[in-house]
Amino acid sequence: MLKIDSHQHFWKYDPVRDTWITKEMSIIQKDFLPEDLEPVLKANGIDGCVVVQSDQSEDENQFQLANADKHDFIKGIVGWVDFRSPDVEKRLEYYSQFSKLKGFRHVLQGEKKRDLMLQPDFLNGISLLNKYGFTYDILIYPDQLKYVTEMVAKFPEQSFVVDHIAKPYIKDKILLEWAEDIAALAQFKNVYCKISGMVTETNWNQWLPDEFEPYMDVVVESFGIDRVMFGSDWPVCLVSATYKQVYDIVKEYFSGYSVSEQTKFFGGNAIKFYNLSK
């Protein structure tokens, strides 16, 4: 079974477009391309990856498709389309020809309208994904968990995955309400969760591995071992940790699990969810 990093990014840094990369994140204010990641994956025993959009444009899809065409270790792409567009079905139909394009994402965490995912035009876009075999990555903050639960309840056949365990407030050790909302969302068996993005939700470069255990406990208890997957969030993780440090946090956490359970977390579940070629 392949070992898969289910969540990472590539970009050619553009200071005008990439304003989300702030001055405090200067370490990632540069290009990050497949040739940068490939040796890192090999060094950590990872066989392949899923690249996730970081720019909300269809140019992003073409950029990542070109990367995937040149590099076999890129097993899947999560792209972007305008879910609210009247032409969204035409775009989904167009993208269905690309075997490595597995799903789509919208940066809901950054929307002023916190319940944007419940607007009729957005819901219409989500309703069309399953017809073309596409997944949906959920990128939110904890205040949006209740809205997302309401959204996924409408689409029992659609495959969803929560990115970055919904970005709990690890820095402030706030757990209870997020944990309750995660458990409620996890009741829907078509929803998976990526254990990723944790090191950027605490004090950068000053964290201890045991800070993350209570949050991983909640996620694994809620979703079960069959619906969780490893993601590095490289290169964003580099503002707080090396790739190896991120990997070692989850490697240590799951070290007490059986070999078959570890295989699911470190690849099997991502392969199943995204329908990746082995």
- Read off the pLDDT of residues 10-61 as tens digits, 9 standing for 90 and up: 999 999 999 999 999 999 999 999 999 999 999 999 999 999 999 999 999 9
- Read off the pLDDT of residues 98-146 as tens digits, 9 standing for 90 and up: 999 999 999 999 999 999 999 999 999 999 999 999 999 999 999 999 9
Cα 225 from Cα 253, distance rounded (Å): 13
Looking at residue 134, its amino acid is F
Cβ-contact 50, 75 below 8 angstroms:
yes
This model's pTM is above 0.85: yes
Cα 199 from Cα 209, distance rounded (Å): 9
Cα 164 from Cα 267, distance rounded (Å): 17
Cα 132 from Cα 103, distance rounded (Å): 10
Report how far apart, in Å, the C-alpha atoms of 232 and of each of 8, 12, 117 are.
Answer: 6, 19, 26
Q: Is the pLDDT of residue 278 over 90?
A: no
Q: Is the pLDDT of residue 195 over 80?
A: yes
CATH of the domain at 68: 3.20.20.140
Cα 208 from Cα 167, distance rounded (Å): 17
Work out the average pLDDT over 217-227.
98
Q: Which domain covers residue 85, as residue numbers?
A: 4-274
Cα 233 from Cα 7, distance rounded (Å): 5
Number of domains in the chain: 1
| pLDDT category of residue 233 using cuts at 50, 70 and 90 | very high
129-168: b (≥16 Cβ within 10 Å) or e:
bbeeebbbbbbbbbebbbebbebbeebeebbbbbbbbbbb
| pLDDT category of residue 277 using cuts at 50, 70 and 90 | confident
- Read off the pLDDT of residues 78-108 as tens digits, 9 standing for 90 and up: 999 999 999 999 999 999 999 999 999 999 9
Instruction: Report the Cα 55 to chain-centroid distance in Å.
Output: 14
